[in-house]
Amino acid sequence: MKISAEEIKKIALLSRLNVEDDQIETVGKQLNDILAYMDLLNQVDITDVQPTVHAIPLHNVMRDDVPQPSLPNEKALQNAPEPENGYFKVPKVIQD
Amino acid sequence: METLTIHALHDKLVRREISAVELAQKYIARKDAVEPQVQAFLSDNRENALAAAAVVDKKIAAGEDIAAMAGIPGAIKDVICVAGQNTTCGSKMLEHFKAPYNATVIEKLNALDYISLGKTNMDEFAMGSSTENSAYQITHNPWNLDCVPGGSSGGSAAAVAAGSAVWALGSDTGGSIRQPAAYCGVVGLKPTYGLVSRYGLVAYGSSLDQIGPFTTDVTDCAIVLNAIAGHDKKDSTSIPMEKKDYTKALVNDVKGLKIGIPEEFFVEGLDDTCRKALEEAIETYRKLGAEIVPVKLPHMKYGLAAYYIIAPAEASSNLARYDGVGFGFRVDGTDIVDMYRKTRTAGFGPEVRRRIMLGTYVLSSGYYDAYYLRAMKVRTLLKQDFDKALSQCDVLLTPTAPDTAFRIGQHDNDPLAMYLGDVCTVSLNLAGLPGISIPCGYKDGMPIGMQLIGAALGEETLLRVAYTFEQNRTDLRKPLPMGEVEL
């Protein structure tokens, strides 16, 4: 097994997801199956190979610094669950 | 009766054999008749469609020229933003999300008086190969309602195959246009990365995603590509280039062209009937004067593993934005992290959660080099393989998928088995190359897809080679599986 139950819990936290205790085994098995398949990549000699982030690279896409129309405040907030006074409202972040 | 195409219907509109409003009404009636069985659409846009059709009729009445796509009913995958309309991405997370602006492709289509009958079903956030991962409904393959239409753009492919739209837009991150096109017996094109703007396309894997057309023939494919291609300042990965007329590439001639056959696509795992259909296709090209060249892509067998590291890695980052703050769906929690976790666990389906966790894992400290960095290096090697093969050939010919459409529910609880079906398509996205899927045969009544792969920005050659096959293999033409649309 590549991922332990403890690691599943850690990844779930990093992913901001919950995995219920009774799901850990199933989720772990599926992720382990997939990662075992990825071992195929260990057969490849990658010495001195540069990584490709974008297949069609473009560099320094610049434009003049001229203001363009942008999304008005009310449109930016129209899908928010709890807008207030023109802002997104979130639960308290800093604890007492 | 012939299958109705954009170009045939455009002629009818211009000759005033039918009005755009009548045409829209015919397609709305057709959609109403087949939708209970196919379930390709997530929304209904008939009122806007009829209003847009009336505008086209006014232009015709006034003697104005109309665009090739004007007034021809289409459909839009529900991952593309249309201002004021729901854009759910097949997810509960965006159930009530109304796009505040238009995607660039929609702005371009608007300028051509396009008509959409609605948004189409898809695997949630475009993650899947069957459209079974939609939070809303299962879409059925019009050729056999017990089979999947493919995915993730299964709704768009099924809508065109069912005759409830003449054309549709989809998106393709690892095969999500080409594979459903193959399963539904229609034409599907994934353009070169950067040819079509991604502005307003909800992101899955940003270095892989492209928007492209579904149509019933290659001519229509060129017409829709003309409409949506072009540089866009709002997408920094968009390629600056002159606008082309892709319909000029529709030449019925492949004499002297070199068609490469990568042996790695024809190995074990390819269904025998599919193999036979592809061999016949190769023979067709040979008889038409193309030179058939065996080529090798030595790193092809690593493409799938690299893809299923890179795409989930990008997804885990892109989908971080669904945090219960900006986009509607929220489940309250005891503190902000609890709110995030409850919102995301309830808002995302199992496949999306799986890919976010997989992506988070391969990017996490201690595993980044072993998985993500290694996959990006394999991506380089794969791209070099393609560059080499395409320096020797004009196009490559491969299967689009190892088999025809599978049955609904066949891959439940086995995500890896579902991923393995993407083996023929994902490598093109990693290399940024264009690919088109066109029908090349049938197995037990189900369509088989052939994929043609071009060099970067080689869409014209790709369309020419596809068009030549279509014009010379009229034996493969069949009526739409649920019957032709009657005007």
Q: Across the 487 residues of chain B, what is the mean pLDDT of every consecutive 10-residue run?
A: 94 98 98 98 98 98 97 98 97 96 98 98 98 98 98 98 98 98 98 98 97 98 98 94 96 98 93 97 98 97 97 98 93 95 98 97 93 97 98 98 97 88 96 98 98 98 98 97 96
Which pLDDT belongs to residue B455? 98
The answer to whether the peptide bond before residue B152 is cis (omega within 30 degrees of 0) is: yes
The answer to whether A69 contacts chain B (CB < 8 Å) is no
Rg of chain B, C-alpha, whole Å? 21
Q: For residue B410, what are its two tokens?
A: 């066949």
Residues of A in contact with B433 (CB under 8 A): 55
Q: Give the whole-angstrom CA distance, residue B82 versus residue B100.
A: 8
Nearest-CA residue of chain B relative to A46?
B377
User: Per the CB < 8 Å rule, is B328 touching A80?
Assistant: yes
Q: Is residue B270 part of a domain?
A: no
Q: Any idea which residue has 């290399």 for tokens?
A: B431
Which pLDDT belongs to residue A59? 80
Bridge pairing between strands B187-190 and B115-120: unpaired
Catalytic residues of B: 77, 152, 176
Q: For residue A58, what are its two tokens?
A: 């473009």
Residue-number span of the structural domain to which B121 is assigned: 6-252+458-476
Residues of A in contact with B303 (CB under 8 A): none
Contacts of B36 (CB under 8 A, 6+ apart): none
Which pLDDT belongs to residue B79? 98
- Substitution target in B96, B361, B373, B411 with the highest count of A β-carbons within 10 Å is B361
Pick from B224, B222, B204, B178: nearest CA to B76 = B224
CA angle B241, B247, B250 (to 5 degrees): 120
Bridge pairing between strands B73-77 and B167-172: parallel
> Does A94 have pLDDT greater than 90?
no
Nearest-CA residue of chain B relative to A63?
B233
Q: Where are the alpha helices (DSSP H) in B193-302?
A: 218-228, 272-287
Going by the DSSP 8-state scheme, the letter that residue B147 receives in this structure is: B
Pick from B406, B349, B328: nearest CA to B137 = B349
Which pLDDT belongs to residue B121? 98
At position B176, the amino acid (one-letter code) is S
Length of chain B: 487
User: Per the CB < 8 Å rule, is A78 touching B302?
Assistant: no
Q: Using CB atoms, which residue from B100, B381, B432 is nearest to A49?
A: B381
Nearest-CA residue of chain A relative to B329?
A81
Q: Is residue B116 part of a domain?
A: yes
End-to-end Cα separation, chain A, in angstroms: 41
Pick from B181, B202, B10: nearest CA to B119 = B202
Going by the DSSP 8-state scheme, the letter that residue B485 receives in this structure is: P
Instruction: Check if the beta carbon of residue A31 is closer than 8 Å to that of residue B354.
Output: yes
Pick from B459, B174, B475: nearest CA to B307 = B174
The answer to whether A59 contacts chain B (CB < 8 Å) is no
Q: Any idea which residue has 């409409």 for tokens?
A: B227
Q: Is residue B469 part of a domain?
A: yes
How far A78 CA lies from chain B's nearest CA (Å)?
8
The answer to whether A47 contacts chain B (CB < 8 Å) is no
The answer to whether A57 contacts chain B (CB < 8 Å) is no
Residues of A in contact with B348 (CB under 8 A): 17
Residues of A in contact with B100 (CB under 8 A): 71, 75-76, 78-79
Q: Is residue B152 part of a domain?
A: yes
Q: Give the whole-angstrom CA distance, residue B66 versus residue B428.
A: 35
Instruction: Check if the beta carbon of residue B125 is closer than 8 Å to that of residue B204.
Output: yes
User: Per the CB < 8 Å rule, is A14 touching B360?
Assistant: yes
Which pLDDT belongs to residue B1? 75
Q: Is residue B333 part of a domain?
A: no
Mean per-residue pLDDT, A62-75: 90
Q: Is residue B320 part of a domain?
A: no
At position B36, the amino acid (one-letter code) is P
Contacts of B347 (CB under 8 A, 6+ apart): B91, B92, B93, B322, B324, B329, B331
Q: Where are the alpha helices (DSSP H) in B257-373?
A: 272-287, 303-318, 336-347, 350-363
The pLDDT tens digits of the residues spanning A3-53 come to 999 999 999 999 999 999 999 999 999 999 999 999 999 999 999 999 999
How far A40 CA lies from chain B's nearest CA (Å)?
7
Number of CB pairs < 8 Å for A and B?
167
What's the pLDDT band for A92 if we cut at 50, 70, 90? confident
Q: Give the whole-angstrom CA distance, residue B383 versus residue B274.
A: 26
Q: Any idea which residue has 């205790």 for tokens?
A: A21
Cβ burial, residue A86 (10 Å; 0-12/13-18/19+): exposed
User: Per the CB < 8 Å rule, is B100 touching A71?
Assistant: yes
Residues of B in contact with A35 (CB under 8 A): 358, 361, 371
User: Per the CB < 8 Å rule, is A40 touching B96?
Assistant: no
Q: Give the whole-angstrom CA distance, residue B288 versus residue B349.
A: 49
User: Per the CB < 8 Å rule, is B416 touching A37?
Assistant: yes
Q: Using CB atoms, which residue from A35, A38, A52 is nearest to B380?
A: A52
Q: Using CB atoms, which residue from A15, A63, A79 is nearest to B98?
A: A79
Q: For residue B224, what are its two tokens?
A: 């829709």
Q: Any idea which residue has 């990017």 for tokens?
A: B363
Pick from B293, B226, B243: nearest CA to B263 = B293
Residue B169: its H or E element? strand B167-172
Q: Please state the domain extents for chain A.
A: 5-42
CATH of the domain at B50: 3.90.1300.10
In angstroms, the Cα distances linking B165 to B112, B390, B446 are 17, 35, 20
DSSP codes of every residue in B7-57 = HHHHHHHHTTSS-HHHHHHHHHHHHHHHHHHH--BS---HHHHHHHHHHHH
User: Per the CB < 8 Å rule, is A34 touching B415?
Assistant: yes
Which pLDDT belongs to residue A63? 83
Q: For residue A60, what are its two tokens?
A: 């320094």
The answer to whether A94 contacts chain B (CB < 8 Å) is no
Nearest-CA residue of chain A relative to B412?
A30
The tally of CA atoms less than 13 A away on the side-chain side of residue B78 is 37
ipTM: 0.95
Q: Using CB atoms, which residue from A33, A56, A78 is nearest to B193?
A: A56
> Does A96 have pLDDT greater than 80?
no
Pick from B150, B206, B208, B146: nearest CA to B179 = B150
DSSP codes of every residue in B274-303 = HHHHHHHHHHHHHHTTPEEEEE--TTGGGH
At position B475, the amino acid (one-letter code) is D
Contacts of B30 (CB under 8 A, 6+ apart): B163, B164, B485
Residues of B in contact with A43 (CB under 8 A): 302
Task: Tell which phi-psi region holds residue B418, choosing left (phi > 0), alpha (psi between -120 and 50) or beta.
Answer: alpha
Which pLDDT belongs to residue B303? 97
User: Per the CB < 8 Å rule, is A95 touching B340?
Assistant: no
Q: Give the whole-angstrom CA distance, residue B422 versus residue B310.
A: 14
| Total structural domains within chain B | 1
3-state secondary structure B438-481: EEEEEECCEEEEEEEEECCCCHHHHHHHHHHHHHHCHHHCCCCC
User: Per the CB < 8 Å rule, is B335 touching A71?
Assistant: no
- The pair phi, psi for residue A63, each rounded to 5°, is -150, 165
Instruction: Check if the beta carbon of residue B191 is closer than 8 Å to that of residue B229.
Output: yes
Residues of A in contact with B456 (CB under 8 A): 55-56
Pick from B15, B32, B8, B7: nearest CA to B163 = B32
User: Per the CB < 8 Å rule, is B430 touching A30?
Assistant: no
